[in-house]
């Protein structure tokens, strides 16, 4: 029988979102890593077996998400590691990338509809709002990057058999 | 103004995409193990649904209806949704490569999400103007995100609870989802007329 939930467990304490990645290159003091895909649905689990590097395949998508880490732990090519980001970082990044453009898009559309009442003018205004929002999102993302919030952190070396889903 | 507010409440709560129309259940069950991933997926889906619905409305109004090409609607909308996902990937990658590295994993999952196509077909059926269609799509996706986050919160607590072995994981998840659907049925008593 598993243990009961500890009533003193602090659900509000910040935690890391962990994921596994493997080292594909080491250049001086920096290591390049590629994330390993988890199975958020059956399609991804089968796609992870795909070894081809064609455009749009799971393998090429993961390759496009290569990231760098400072190699303080002396990682070697082929090693699997567990990396993490703070849990509120993902929320903040999502809001920056998607909420800001959506807010400007809808505001511009509402304003155009109120002022002109024409579908075509509203459409053009929304596209302009989207473009403005993307520019603001770029500025916001730059600020997050400067604060170091977007970079994954090295947590530990992955044990054999450890995956994103374990 | 009032009609748009009621339209949005109806789209988000009364006729919720997941719990009333049972669309998008794949990502609903797959990406709700953590609240943070549910938020990420919800925001990405909201963006894609809103932008693709705008494009779908324009294609329907200026191409399919005037030329009697309604039979191509489903294929055309799927093409537009796939193009929108690719466009979103390109844009996020261009705006901020680190953001793309963090958020890019969710985007391919949206291409095959039936909720995106479902919302597009529903707004065609509703015969709305452009702003109404956009607000309907946005509100539907907000309702989708809301349910994803609620369910993720429940699943996080369930993971720590003492669940019988046979029910652990997806079985108890589906039972909780059905209870959530029952709760949302309470909104169906709201009159929007």
Please write the tens of the pLDDT for every residue from B16-39.
999 989 998 888 888 888 888 888
Does the residue A102 lie in any domain?
Answer: yes
Residues 143..172 of B with a Cβ closer than 8 Å to A: which?
160-162
Does the residue A130 lie in any domain?
Answer: yes
DSSP state letter for A24: E
Nearest to A70 by CA among A18, A20, A24, A27: A27
Q: What is the pLDDT of residue A62?
A: 56
Q: What is the pLDDT of residue B129?
A: 87
| Chain A residues within 8 A of B145 when measuring between CB atoms | none
Tell me the mean pLDDT in the region B129-134.
91
Q: Indicate whether B127 pLDDT > 90.
A: no
Per the DSSP assignment, residues forming a β-bridge with A23 are A33
Strands (E), chain A: 16-27, 30-35, 67-70, 80-86, 153-157
Q: Within this chain, do residues A80 and A162 fall inside the same structural domain, yes or no?
A: yes
CA distance A164 to A78: 17
Is B62 near chain A, with CB under 8 Å?
Answer: no
Q: What is the pLDDT of residue A60?
A: 54
Residue with tokens 């090519």: A77
Q: Within this chain, do residues A105 and A130 fall inside the same structural domain, yes or no?
A: yes
Residue in B with minimal Cα distance to A95? B43
**Domain coverage including residue A157:** 16-85+150-166
Q: Within this chain, do residues A80 and A102 fall inside the same structural domain, yes or no?
A: no
Does the residue A63 lie in any domain?
Answer: yes
Q: Quick check: ipTM above 0.85?
A: no
Please write the tens of the pLDDT for every residue from A90-129.
788 888 889 999 999 999 999 999 898 888 899 999 999 9
Question: Which regions of chain A are under pLDDT 70?
Answer: 1-14, 37-65, 161-166
Residue with tokens 């193990």: B33
Residue in A with minimal Cα distance to B149? A91
Mean pLDDT of chain B: 87
**Which residues neighbour A11 within 8 Å (Cβ) at sequence distance 6 or greater?**
none
Q: What is the pLDDT of residue A117?
A: 83
Q: Within this chain, do residues A49 and A94 fall inside the same structural domain, yes or no?
A: no
Q: What is the pLDDT of residue A107?
A: 94
Does the residue A7 lie in any domain?
Answer: no
Q: Report the number of distinct structural domains present in chain B.
A: 1
Which of A28-32, A83-87, B97-101, B113-117 has the lowest average pLDDT? B97-101
Question: What token pair was written down for A28?
Answer: 């001086």
Q: Within this chain, do residues A75 and A92 fall inside the same structural domain, yes or no?
A: no
Is A46 near chain B, with CB under 8 Å?
Answer: no
Q: What is the pLDDT of residue A151?
A: 73
Do B134 and A17 lie within an 8 Å CB cutoff?
A: no
Tell me the mean pLDDT in the region B89-103.
77
Does the residue A28 lie in any domain?
Answer: yes
pTM, to two decimals: 0.80
Q: What is the pLDDT of residue B167?
A: 87
Chain B nearest-CA distance from A73, in A, is 22
Q: Report the number of distinct structural domains present in chain A.
A: 2
Q: Indicate whether B81 pLDDT > 60.
A: yes
Does the residue A131 lie in any domain?
Answer: yes
Is A61 near chain B, with CB under 8 Å?
Answer: yes
Is B91 near chain A, with CB under 8 Å?
Answer: yes
Residue with tokens 């009621």: B6
CA distance A88 to B141: 22
Q: Within this chain, do residues A106 and A124 fall inside the same structural domain, yes or no?
A: yes
Which of B13-17, B74-78, B140-144, B168-172 has the lowest average pLDDT? B168-172
Q: Within this chain, do residues A76 and A26 fall inside the same structural domain, yes or no?
A: yes
Which of A77-81, B84-88, B103-107 has the lowest average pLDDT? B103-107
Residue with tokens 């200026």: B62
Does the residue A96 lie in any domain?
Answer: yes
Q: Indicate whether B66 pLDDT > 60.
A: yes
Q: What is the pLDDT of residue A40?
A: 43
What are the start-end ranges of the H helices in chain B?
2-9, 25-30, 35-59, 73-95, 97-103, 107-111, 114-125, 130-160, 170-184
């Amino acid at each position: 029988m598993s243990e009961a939930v500890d009533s003193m467990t602090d659900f509000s304490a910040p935690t890391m979102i962990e994921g596994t990645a493997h080292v594909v290159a080491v250049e001086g003091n920096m290591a390049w890593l590629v994330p390993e895909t988890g199975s958020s649905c059956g399609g991804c689990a089968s796609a992870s077996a795909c070894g081809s590097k064609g455009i749009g395949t799971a393998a090429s998508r993961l390759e496009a998400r290569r990231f760098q880490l400072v190699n303080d732990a002396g990682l070697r090519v082929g090693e699997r590691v567990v990396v993490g980001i703070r849990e509120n970082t993902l929320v903040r990044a999502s809001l920056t990338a998607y909420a800001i453009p959506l807010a400007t898009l809808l505001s511009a559309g509402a304003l155009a509809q109120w002022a002109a009442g024409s579908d075509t003018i509203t459409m053009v205004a929304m596209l302009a709002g989207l473009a403005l929002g993307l520019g603001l999102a770029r500025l916001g993302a730059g600020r997050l990057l400067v604060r170091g919030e977007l970079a994954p952190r090295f947590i530990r070396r992955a044990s054999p058999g450890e995956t994103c889903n374990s | 103004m009032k009609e748009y507010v009621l339209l949005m409440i109806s789209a988000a709560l009364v006729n919720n995409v997941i719990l009333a129309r049972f669309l998008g259940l794949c990502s609903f069950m797959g990406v709700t193990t953590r609240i943070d991933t549910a938020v990420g997926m919800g925001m990405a889906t909201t963006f894609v649904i809103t932008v693709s619905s705008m494009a779908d409305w324009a294609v329907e109004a200026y191409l399919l209806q005037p030329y009697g090409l309604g039979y191509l609607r489903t294929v055309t909308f799927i093409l537009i949704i796939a193009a929108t996902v690719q466009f979103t990937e390109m844009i996020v990658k261009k705006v901020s490569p680190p953001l793309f590295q963090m958020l890019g994993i969710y985007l391919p999952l949206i291409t095959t999400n039936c909720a995106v196509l479902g919302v597009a077909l529903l707004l065609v059926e509703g015969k709305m103007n452009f702003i109404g269609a956009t607000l309907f799509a946005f509100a539907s996706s907000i309702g989708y995100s809301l349910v994803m986050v609620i369910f993720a919160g429940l699943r996080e607590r369930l993971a720590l609870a003492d669940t019988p072995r046979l029910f652990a994981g997806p079985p108890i998840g589906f039972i909780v989802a059905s209870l959530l659907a029952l709760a949302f049925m309470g909104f169906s008593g709201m009159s929007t007329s």
